[in-house]
Structure 1
């Protein structure tokens, strides 16, 4: 394996100059930098992270904080983040934390301050004022995904708008008794976007003069959670909604399975719309509002890189598009 000394000898410079040329630290002429980079390429030289850290003052590590690791959205988004970090030669340090737990408090009070992280990407959580203060103290640039604060850069879809699109699709089909399926504001795995989607549903129902029909079948934003909540709200024959807007596709798929368990035909007797365009959405012919979590992950890395290069710049909010994908889980209600 080649060393920095080999690269320096091939390029005809000192080891210190070769190190500066490859790390970007300190002044090196363009001609010398190009010569050193060419030598490194010829020798297949890869800089050791510890050496690079000493030269640049950076750890080449980015912390990623998530409230859940077993949901499709988070897994896909994490894949996008990792793609972006690998492309820039950075390592990923993953923290799975739950809302309101001692582990979350310990993360911000003890773990992050002692780790040398170049930046932090917080997914689906809204850092408190105290948590933001702790991040400022450890001088770690922060980018949020799926949550927004005026103090941080952020990337997301407009979750409230996505739920409005889903609800308005059902209203346009003629549905009035539409319930919201899944998500819990006080759950340990609660994500910031879940509440925004619930809010968008309420806004669409109110705007259409259907506020009297607003109701929420709470449950974990998962297939089992959607199934349980679906069976519960659909099991009441006297007060059964004709349509459901699910907090996410996983809950929607659970709702479809629950409806079938009760002998209900989708969409003849019940329409269901999800949000995400999960990898199994097409298999279940699920109408949904599509977002692209991998794209969001790569965008988060790009925003973090901008924050690292210009930490005093005004925080940027990047809102990515979402779109309605109509499949076979929605239809006009029976008359």
Structure 2
């Protein structure tokens, strides 16, 4: 079996240069890197992860920290991050901080991070002062997706703009009686996105002089099942909205299912719009505000890789706002006259 010394001797470079070339670091000329890669392939050389870690002080692993991992949004982010990191020989170590209740989460600890990861990517997760102090003490670069983390690079969408697009679409169709799905208690661990979207909905309603019906502001725990249950209760009342703005496609899908189960036609009797462009949204004809979730994962991974010394030096953007887009399908229409 070939060793790194064999590769260095055959390529005519030092062992350190072989190591940098194989790890994708930018202190190697393209011509030298190409020669080293070819020699390594010809000799069937495979670097030992343990040896590489000992030599470089790095684990080639990035910690991805999330409040939930079972939901489509987070799963899509993790997949995009992993694929991007893999191109540079790095992999993902997942930390699911979900607790049994929605209003708290597990803390990030030193045992999770120390000598286990080279950097951290957080997924829509506020960090406590103690957690930030820990990350700084361990010297780990951190990139946040969604919820911003103080003085760290951030990749996100404009949540308020996304909900304004959704609500303005309903208003432009002539809807005045609009319900909202996605309100949560203020003490929930990942509050920034839900609060921004609810406030944007309220701003649009106020700007058009439309009444906000408190009984039409639904929580729904950001799941399809919960949204369906809340919608069944709402539709059982004689006082019904003509449209629903959901803060996520999963909740919109749940609302549509509950409405159809009760014989409420979509969009003739009830228009429904969401945010995300979930994998099922096109099939179900859901009008939505699309966000490119995978692009956010790729961008965050690339920013972290630059912080670890891969790719061009000189930084790059520390805040990336990924655009959103209204996608009109068959779930929205003007209200019945």
Does TM-score exceed 0.5, indicating one fold? yes
Q: For the Cα contact (< 8 Å) 1:20–1:27, is it kept in 2?
A: yes
Q: Is the 8 A contact 1:250 1:278 kept in 2?
A: yes
Residue 201 of structure 1 and its aligned partner are, at CA, apart by 1.2
CA contact (8 A) 1:182 1:225 kept: no
Please show how residues 70-85 of structure 1 align to structure 2 within 5 Å. 70-85=70-85
Structure 2 CA distance for aligned equivalents of residues 30 and 146 of structure 1: 35
| CA distance in structure 2 between the aligned counterparts of 1:32 and 1:189, rounded to whole angstroms | 48
Conserved? CA contact 2:23–2:89, under 8 Å: no
Q: Quote the Cα distance in structure 1 between the aligned partners of 2:283 and 2:234.
A: 24
Map of 1:219 onto structure 2:
220
Name the structure 2 match of 1:294: 294
- 2:212 is paired with a residue whose SS is helix
Q: Give the 3 Å change call, closer, same or farther, for CA 189–252 of structure 1 in structure 2.
A: farther
Asked if the contact 1:19–1:55 (Cα under 8 Å) also holds between the matched residues in 2, the reply is no
Cα distance change of structure 1 residues 185 and 80 upon mapping to structure 2, 3 Å threshold: farther
Alignment RMSD: 2.9
1:329 is aligned to 331
> Between Structure 1 and Structure 2, how many residues are aligned?
332
Looking at structure 2, the residues matched to 249 and 226 of structure 1 have their Cα atoms a distance apart, in angstroms, of: 11
Q: Structure 2, unaligned stretches of length 5 or more?
A: none
Partner of 2:94: 94
Which residue pairs with 1:104 in the alignment?
Answer: 106
Q: Can you list the C-alpha shifts for 1:110-156, whole angstroms capped at 9, x where unaligned?
A: 422x3431110100111123322221111111111111234111111
Within 2, Cα distance between the matches of 1:34 and 1:155? 32
SS in 2 for 1:283: helix
Structure 2 CA distance, aligned partners of 1:7 and 1:311?
Answer: 27
The two structures have a TM-score, normalised by structure 1, of: 0.88
TM-score with structure 2 length normalisation? Answer: 0.88
Q: 1:15 Cα deviation (Å)? A: 4.8
Separation in 1, partners of 2:67, 2:325: 25
1:9 shift after superposition: 3.9
What is the match of residue 148 of structure 1? 148
